Chain A
Amino acid sequence: MIEARRAQLPPIARLGDFFLRHVGEIGAMALFLLESFGRIFRSWGQFNKAVRQVYFIGVKSISVITLISLFTGMVIGLQMYYALAKFGADGFLGAAVSLSLVRELGPVLTAIMITGRAGSSMTAEIGVMRISEQVDALQVMDINPVGYLVSPKLAASIICFPILTAFFDLVGIVGGYITGVLLLGGNSGVYWYRVSAYLKMSDITGGFIKSLVFGVVVCTICCYMGYYTHLRRDSVGPEAVSQATTSAVVTSCVLILLADYILTSLLF
């Protein structure tokens, strides 16, 4: 009925309706984030749930993060070595690899990888719970579903994203070393010296701030999409869960890149 009424609106009014709906949704997401953040510290029981989520989001992501970061570092090492060698600056490979990883690629790629691995499953898990009335069951048992389902995931994301990012950076720099030094014959001492000399504390903290923001964004988007699966207009039931999962991953990835641009402008 609402859709039919919407279709009858003149184009300008439809545009206004589109913006109003999206602004409303952003507001709803902000409230959802505030509520889930506020409930992190409500009870000691949340700690156990958060630990379980740290295992799921963090520990189980280590293998995929290791693989991605190693090959990312190796590719950067390879590309940078040839580019720098053209100017006789191949000694700066360590600085180029470490700066690009710590400031940009580490936080962004880690967040995108966790979105694909853990974020999608957060949406699917909460979405399935929603359509099978498990969320309703929590509500009638007077257990706040946001506090029970979302807050531990948010706490775990805040803990895991920076740690996994640091791990990504570390393995990536080793990847750069493998190609730049071990395979292409660069100088090992120079590589590590440039890494330590050019990498400032502000670069590291900037990367961590980014990863923290990405953690909050990814967790909020993924849990929000799952939590409101039943309100989707494009589909219902299991199809709504699959649509919500797809939307969550796509929206998270877009917002990661958008937030990355804004944070880079502000931080560096």
Chain B
Amino acid sequence: MTQQTTTDIRLEGLTIGYGEHAVVSNIDAVLPGDKISVILGGSGCGKSTLLKHILRLHPVLAGRIVIGGHDLTSLDRRGMHCLRQRMGVLFQDGALLGSLTLGDNVALPLREHTKLPEKAVRERVLAKLGLVGLADFYDYYPNELSGGMRKRAGLARAMVMDPPLLFCDEPTSGLDPVTAAELDQLLLELKRSFDMTLVVVSHDLNSMRAIADHVLVLGSGKVLFQGSLAELDATQDEYLRRFLDRQAAERNSPRLTMPPLDFKLMKRDCSGYLGE
């Protein structure tokens, strides 16, 4: 049995979804503190939905979410304010405010929640931007940056309040393999340097292997697996094995048995271009 820490996240009988429609039902899981937990699963299995419910962006349908002994589903407004200021979140595309420069984006939580003088705010923002390799882009607007840079800037903003808990939603999606590996490396360094608890939502197996201490696999609206990476690798579950070995499910695809499109039926005569 693992030792409980103040940043353990416990999901107890949790059912989540939108409106009356449940996406994930009755799950019990623990995302251990001071570790990197990866929530894994195929597209549309409810990973991001689970993350948004843990962040209390949506009300849960049933069950409890307990972070550090606080039940989020019954926490009052003041408690939620305090907890949120101790969490950092990196959204899928960074979710930087388009009307603010990178520096102002990262400085936003400091300006809203602290009494730091402007000079100290700037120093701190530059330090965090330096941490993600963007110190020279302080005055750039988000639309002037690449996708990878926006994600790193989002990470700097998530880190600016030195939160003990960091949530990342698909941090490597849409990135080239080198940039994705760099971002994974960065998450590992942050974890090592600041002793944080990280919860990463991902469907990137390479990324999961690079960073995960603990894995939670979702599928078919329930938890399919939770445990360490070694335990996941040793699993004999058919779906999980297919998922981990990247094997497609066997199917008789109608696309492959259909006759090809007759070019004579095209509205515009394009004969001679890449084919008949």
Contacts and interface: CB of A to CB of B under 8 A. Distances in A.
B52 interface: yes
Nearest to A148: B112
B92 A134 contact: no
Contact of A136 (B52, B85, B111): B52
A187 B89 CA distance: 70
Contacts of B91: 133, 136-137
Contacts of B87: 140
Contacts of B180: none
Contacts of B21: 1
Interface string A13-52: 0000000000000000000000000000000010000000
B95 interface: yes
A132 interface: yes
Interface centre among A129, A132, A141 (most CB of B within 10 A): A141
A143 B95 contact: no
Interface in B105-128: 108-109, 111-113
A136 B96 contact: no
A143 B52 contact: no
A137 B95 contact: yes
Contact of B20 (A1, A128, A133, A134): A1
Contacts of A45: 111-112
B57 interface: yes
Interface string B48-62: 000010010100000
B57 A136 contact: yes
Contact of B95 (A2, A136, A142): A136
A24 to B, nearest CB: 14
Interface string B72-110: 000000001100110101011101111000000000110
Nearest to A135: B95
B259 interface: no
A128 B92 CA distance: 15
Contacts of A129: 97-98
Contacts of A264: none
A136 B169 CA distance: 12
Contact of B97 (A1, A134, A139): A134
Name, among A129, A139, A140, A143, the residue most crowded by chain B CB atoms within 10 Å (CB to CB).
A140
Given A142-B81, A142-B85, A132 B95 contact: yes
Contact of A134 (B19, B55, B96): B96
B97 A143 contact: no
Interface string B162-200: 000000000000000000000000000000000000000
Chain A contact residues: over half helix, strand or loop, or mixed? helix
A139 B85 CA distance: 10
B271 to A, nearest CB: 36
B89 A137 contact: yes
B260 to A, nearest CB: 33
Interface in A140-156: 140-143
Contacts of B52: 136
B57 A2 contact: no
Given A1-B21, A134-B97, A141 B57 contact: no
B112 A143 contact: yes
Contacts of B111: 45
A2 B20 contact: yes
Contacts of A143: 108-109, 112
Contacts of A128: 98
Contacts of B85: 142
B108 A140 contact: no
A143 B113 CA distance: 9
Contacts of A136: 52, 55, 57, 91, 95
17 contacts: A45-B112, A128-B98, A133-B92, A136-B52, A136-B55, A137-B91, A137-B95, A138-B97, A139-B57, A140-B57, A140-B84, A141-B84, A141-B109, A142-B84, A142-B85, A142-B109, A143-B109
Interface of B: 19-21, 52, 55, 57, 80-81, 84-85, 87, 89, 91-93, 95-98, 108-109, 111-113, 157
Given A137-B96, A142-B113, 8 more contacts: A132-B95, A133-B95, A136-B57, A137-B91, A140-B89, A141-B84, A141-B108, A142-B85
Q: Which 6 A-B pairs have the closest CB atoms?
A: A137-B95, A142-B84, A133-B95, A140-B89, A133-B91, A141-B109
